Amino acid sequence: PKALSAEFLDARRAASDDDVNKLRDLLTVYGEFPEKYRLLTWRKVLRLPDNEKAYETLASKGTHPAMADLPDRFPISDRSLLLRLQRICSCLSHYSPVFAESPVVPGMVFPFVKAFKTNETHAFEAFLTLVNNHARGWFELFPDPPFGHLAEVEAVVKFHDPQVAKRMESVPGGLQGAAWQLLSTLFTDVTTADEWLRLFDHVAVQGRAMLTHLAAAYVLIWRDAI
C-alpha cells in the first residue's frame, strides 16, 4: 500500500479522501491498523471534533438518573472503567433523552470507553459519530429496532443464500432479530477485545455498508449454529 503523508500524523488535520483510500489499501493488505496509530486513525477518519469544553459541560450535570443503577445493570470488575462508562452514558443521556431510555446504549458505548481509555471526550464523540453516520436511523423508531437497516441485512442474506433466509423465518425473532442482536451490541458479544478493535478499523473506514454486510456475513457463516 502507498505510504500516508507526513501530515497524516497531525492530529488537528482530518483525513483527506486520498488518506482514506490509502487506509483502505492498508487494511486490505494487513487486515488492521498499527496499534500505535489506531486511535489517531479513528479520530481522523471519523473526524472527531475533540470538543472537550462541550463534553465537560455535559459532564458537569452529574450522573443522569437513568444511569444511576448502571453498575448493577452492567457489572464490570474494573471500577475505573465502570465509572468512565457511567459518566459517558450520563453525558449521552443529558445530550439526548433516547440515549437515557435505550437499554442497548451502555453496551454500544463500552468498547469505545475501553479503547480510548481515560480520554472520555473521544469515546463520547466516537459513539455519537457512529450513531449519526454508520448507524444512522438506529434510534429513530425507538423503542422499536431500525427495521429499514435490518431489512437491508435480510436482503443481503437472501441474495447469497435464500434457503438460510427462509429457515430463519422459523427462528424466534427471525433473521432481523438475529441481525439486531449483532448490531445493537456492535458485535461485542461475538468478538474478543482485540478482534473488536480490528473489526472497527474496517467499520471506521468503510462506513455504514460494512455494518450491514458484517451482520449478513455472520448469519451466513454461522448458519448452522444460529
pLDDT digits (tens, 9 = 90+) for 180-196: 999 999 999 999 999 99
Q: What is the DSSP letter of 15?
A: P
In this prediction, what percent of the chain has a pLDDT beyond 90? 80
**Calpha distance 153→134 (Å, rounded):** 14
pLDDT at 223 over 90: no
CB-CB contact of 218 with 210 (8 Å) = no
The CA dihedral of 223, 198, 54, 103, to the nearest 10 degrees, is 20
Per-residue pLDDT, averaged over 39-61, amounts to: 95
pLDDT at 16 over 90: no
pTM of the shown model? 0.91
